[in-house]
Structure 1
Amino acid sequence: MMHQRKIVRALAIAAAGFGLAGIGHAQTQGVTKNEIVVGSLQDLSGPIANFGKNGRNGLQMRVDEANAAGGIHGRKLRLVVEDHGYDPKKALLGAQKLVQKDKIFAMISTVGTPTNMAAIPVLIENNVPNLFALSAGQQMYEPLHKLKYGYAPPYIDQVVIGLRYLVKEKGYKRICALYQDDDFGQDVLKGYEAGLKALNMQPTEKTSYKRGATDFSSQVAKLRSANCELVVLGAVVREPVAIMTEAKKIGWKADFLGTTATNSAVAHKLGGDAVEGLYAISQFSLPYADDPSPAIRDWVARYKAKFGDDPDTYSVWGYIGMNLFVQTAEKTGPNLTLDTFLDTLQSMTFPRDIFGADFKYSKTNHLGVAGMRVQQIKGGRWVNVTDIIK
C-alpha cells in the first residue's frame, strides 16, 4: 500500500509539472522547445503577385539560412504563408487562420496597406505582433502600439525628401504631379504639396488617372503645356513606363520622380530607354548579378539558384524583414516570450546590412528607419544618387 501511495504521489507531481510546462508554452504562442512559428500574408495570385511572390521568397531564404546555421538558440524557424490575392477579406481570413490554427508567434512583412489594415485587428486581439509590413502606410506604426512595427517611411515623407534633394541639386522651378486617383496617390499628392511648401514654392500643375489606366496621352499633354520641369509620380511601375514612353514619343523632356512603389527592376526591364533618368526613393541598393559588392553578388547567385529567378525589390524587403526578426530573436536569448522579444526590439540598433539599410527601434519609435536614398535609372539599372538622407 505504501509503495502504491508513492507511485500515485510521483505521478501527481509529474502531472503537475507537465501542466506547468503546458501553461508556459501556452503563454508564448508559436514557441516550443524546438520551433518558432511565424507567418506572413502575401499576394500570390492577385494584381501584385509579382511583389508577393518575391517577398515570400526573400522571407523563406532568410529562414532557411537561419535554420542551416542551427536555428535560433536551438529552435528552428517555420514560416507559414497565406495568399490574400490583395483582397482585404482574404487577408482577414488568412490572419485568423495563421493566428488560430497555425498559432504563429509573429506576423512578418505582410504586403499591402489595405491587407495589413484588415489583418491588424485580428493580430492585436490575439496579442500577436505585426512586424515590418511591406507597406508605406503610416498605419503600420501609428498610432503607437506595442504590437505594430513598420520599416517603410510613408509616401508623404518620401516625396518631401526627394523634392528637397532634387530642387537643391537641379534648381527646378516648375514642379508638377501626376498621381493615381486613390489613397496611395493622395498620399503622394500630400507629399508633393508638403515638399513644395517646405521649399517656399507653389505647385505648377497636377492631374490624376484612374487605377488600371494605360493611356496617359491627355495627362502628359496637360503637363507639357504647363512647362513642367519635374513631375512627381504617384504611380507604381507600369504607369511610369507608359507615362515616360508617351513623353518621349511627343518629344517632351522632363524629369520624373517616383516613390518606393516605382523602385523596381521591372521599370527598366519594361521601359528600356524610355525610363532612363527616372528618379525614385529607396532604402537600399537593388541587387544585380554584377553588383560591385561581392556580398550582393553572392546573395543574388544564391537567390537565383534557390528560386530560379532574379531577385527584385520585394525579395530584398522580405529578406530584410526576416533578418530583423532573426537578429532580434537571437539577441533576446533562449527565454523567448512576446514581452522579452518586444523589449529587445524596442532597444535594437541594427547594423547596416549588405544592401545598405539600417534600422533603430525604441519605445517611442516603431518605424525604425534612419532615412531614404534617391536613386536613378542609369544605363538600364537603378543606381544610388545619394546615401541615406534623413
Structure 2
Amino acid sequence: MKQPMYRRRVTAVAAAALSLTVAAGAAGCSGKSTGGEGADGVKVGPGVTKDTITLAALTDMTGPYAPLGKGVTQAQKLYYDQLNAAGGICGRKIELKVRDHGYDVQKALAAYSEIAPGSAAIPQVIGSPITVALKQRLENDHLLTIPQAWAHTLLGSKHVQMTGTTYDLDMVNGVDFLTREKGVKKGDKIGHLVLEGDYGQSALAGAKYAAGKVGLTLVEQQVKATDADMTAQVGAFKKAGVKAILVSVSPKQAASLVGVAAATGLNVPFAASNSAFAQQLLATPVGPAFQKDYYVMTAAPPFSVDTPGIKKLAGEYQMAYKGQPLDASVYSGYTTAAVVGEALKKACAAKDLSRDGIVTAHRSTNAFEIGLGGAPMDFTQTNRPAARASYVVKPDKDSLGGTKLEEEAKESELAKGYNPPAG
C-alpha cells in the first residue's frame, strides 16, 4: 500500500516544520503534536489527509493465534470496505495498514515503529503481552487502540479500549456455570491450565476469586507459549482428582489438553477463555472431544443464533471471503473495526479528527451496540470492563461458525461482587 502523504494548505515554512515533525514520529517519537486544520475546517492529525484516514493493525498471521488474526483482519477489512462504499468519514476513505508480528513482541514493536506514526488509530493489536509492551507508547502517542486481548491489567488507560468482558470476569462466570450446570460443588478440586503472561494471569485472578467464594480448591498448571504437549499437565490434573478444568491457553494447546484428557480417561467438563478455541479444531482428530463437554465463555454470541444482525454479517462475510471459517474472530474483528469507525464518525461531527479528538469522541460512548447482539458496551470508564455478561457457547461442527449457544449472556451472581484487581 502507498504511504500516506500529509497534504495541507500551509506556508512553505509550516510545511517544512511539519515534515520534520513527521520524521521525528517515524523515528519513534510521539505524533500527538502533529496537526492542523484541513480545507474543510476539520482539525486533523497524524494519519489524516484531505482524502484518507489511515489506520494500523498489528496482527498474528503466522504464530499461535494465526486463525484469530486472519478472521479479525478480514472482518475489519470488510467493515472498512463497507464504510468506504458508503462515503467514508468526513469525505475521506479509510485505509487499513496491516502488519504480521507472529505473536513476537520484538517484531510487534518494530511494526509499530514503522506504521503507527502515520496512523490515526489502531483497531487491532493481537496479544496481551504485545499490548502491554506497547502500552506506554500508545499513551504517549495518544492513539486509540483496540486490542484483541482481554487481560484486566490493560484497564485504566484512556487510549486502550478492550471490548466485552475481561479474562478474569469470564472465568468468574465460568466457575458459576460449572457449579450451576455441571455438578461441581463445594469441596471439589478444579484444574486451571494457564498460559504464562497477562492473559493467563488475568484469567487466574478471576478463577482464584470464584474458587474461594464457592469453596473449591484450584489446581494450577502453567505453560509457556512454546509448549505444545499437555501430557504432564493432564497427568497432574488427573492425579489431583479435579472435577472440571478451566482453560486459558492458545487453541492448539487446548487441543492437546482435550485430546490427552480423552485418551487417558479424564472425563470432566471444561470452561474455556474466549482465546482457547478455534473453529478449525473441529476438523482435527480432537474435534469429537471438543464437542463432548467443552464450553467457551465469551462476550460474543455465536453465529448460529437466529438474529437479523448476525445473519446479515454472516452473509456479507461469506460473500467477501468464500470458504473461510466464520467464527468468533469474525464477530470480534467486525465489532472492533466498528468501535473505531463510530469514534471517527463522532470525531468528524465534532470537526476534530486529531488523535485526541478521536479518543474524546470514543470515550463519550456509554452504550455501544451495532445490532449484532451482546450487552451494550460502556466506554466512558477506563478502569472497568466494557461489559460484564458472558455467553456460554459449545463447539459444534454442524452449527454455523462452529459453536452453538449453550446459555444466554449473563453476569453471574459471583461476578456481581467481583471487581478486577488493580493492574
For this structure pair, what is the TM-score category when the shorter chain's length is used for normalisation? 0.7 to 0.9
Once the 2 structures are TM-superposed, how far is the Cα of residue 164 of structure 1 from its aligned partner? 1.8
Letter in 2 for 1:80: K
| Sequence identity (%) | 21
- Secondary structure of 2:64's match? coil
The answer to whether the 8 A contact 1:286-1:355 is kept is no
TM-score w.r.t. length of structure 1: 0.84
Partner residue, 1:275: 290
Letter in 2 for 1:228: V
Partner residue, 1:117: 132
Deviates more, 1:367-376 or 1:26-35: 26-35
Once residues 51 and 13 of structure 2 are traced to their aligned partners in structure 1, the CA distance between those partners, rounded to angstroms, is 17
The equivalences for 1:65-80 within 5 A come to 65-80=82-97
Once residues 136 and 224 of structure 2 are traced to their aligned partners in structure 1, the CA distance between those partners, rounded to angstroms, is 30
Once the 2 structures are TM-superposed, how far is the Cα of residue 57 of structure 1 from its aligned partner? 0.8
The answer to whether the 8 A contact 1:89-1:118 is kept is no
Letter in 2 for 1:362: T
Once the 2 structures are TM-superposed, how far is the Cα of residue 315 of structure 1 from its aligned partner? 2.3
Partner residue, 1:8: none
Once residues 375 and 285 of structure 1 are traced to their aligned partners in structure 2, the CA distance between those partners, rounded to angstroms, is 8
Once the 2 structures are TM-superposed, how far is the Cα of residue 134 of structure 1 from its aligned partner? 0.4
Partner residue, 2:36: 23
- Aligned pair partner of 2:359 in 317, 327, 342: 342
Partner residue, 2:406: 385
Alpha-carbon spacing, 1:218–1:19, altered in 2? closer, same or farther (3 Å) = closer
Q: Deviations over 1:313-365 (max 9, x none)?
A: 22221111111111222233341333433333222121253253531111445
The answer to whether the 8 A contact 2:55-2:121 is kept is yes
- Aligned pair partner of 1:193 in 208, 214, 220: 208
Partner residue, 2:78: 61
Once residues 175 and 93 of structure 1 are traced to their aligned partners in structure 2, the CA distance between those partners, rounded to angstroms, is 44
- Secondary structure of 2:125's match? coil
Once the 2 structures are TM-superposed, how far is the Cα of residue 197 of structure 1 from its aligned partner? 1.0
Once residues 364 and 278 of structure 2 are traced to their aligned partners in structure 1, the CA distance between those partners, rounded to angstroms, is 32
Structure 2: stretches of 5+ with no match in the other structure: 1-8, 19-34, 412-423
Letter in 2 for 1:148: V
Partner residue, 2:58: 41
The answer to whether the 8 A contact 1:55-1:318 is kept is yes
Letter in 2 for 1:383: K
Once the 2 structures are TM-superposed, how far is the Cα of residue 62 of structure 1 from its aligned partner? 0.5
TM-score w.r.t. length of structure 2: 0.78
Once residues 368 and 184 of structure 2 are traced to their aligned partners in structure 1, the CA distance between those partners, rounded to angstroms, is 36
CA RMSD in angstroms comes to: 2.9
The answer to whether the 8 A contact 1:41-1:81 is kept is yes
Partner residue, 2:176: 164
Partner residue, 1:325: 340
Letter in 2 for 1:99: A
- Secondary structure of 1:163's match? helix
Q: Deviations over 1:350-382 (max 9, x none)?
A: 125325353111144564224222222356542
Once the 2 structures are TM-superposed, how far is the Cα of residue 253 of structure 1 from its aligned partner? 2.2
Once the 2 structures are TM-superposed, how far is the Cα of residue 209 of structure 1 from its aligned partner? 4.3
Q: Deviations over 1:38-86 (max 9, x none)?
A: 1111122333222222221111110001001111232211111122221
The answer to whether the 8 A contact 1:351-1:359 is kept is yes
Q: Deviations over 1:133-155 (max 9, x none)?
A: 10112343x3x233222215332
The answer on 1:310 being equivalent to 2:321 is: no
- Secondary structure of 1:232's match? strand
Deviates more, 1:318-327 or 1:257-266: 257-266
Partner residue, 1:287: 303
Once residues 45 and 218 of structure 1 are traced to their aligned partners in structure 2, the CA distance between those partners, rounded to angstroms, is 27
Alpha-carbon spacing, 1:208–1:114, altered in 2? closer, same or farther (3 Å) = closer
Once residues 62 and 76 of structure 1 are traced to their aligned partners in structure 2, the CA distance between those partners, rounded to angstroms, is 12
Partner residue, 1:153: 165
Letter in 2 for 1:269: A
Alpha-carbon spacing, 1:224–1:87, altered in 2? closer, same or farther (3 Å) = closer
Partner residue, 1:358: 376
Partner residue, 1:6: none
Letter in 2 for 1:387: E
Partner residue, 1:4: none
Alpha-carbon spacing, 1:332–1:126, altered in 2? closer, same or farther (3 Å) = closer
Letter in 1 for 2:157: H
The answer to whether the 8 A contact 2:375-2:389 is kept is no
The answer to whether the 8 A contact 2:143-2:359 is kept is no
Once residues 379 and 53 of structure 1 are traced to their aligned partners in structure 2, the CA distance between those partners, rounded to angstroms, is 20
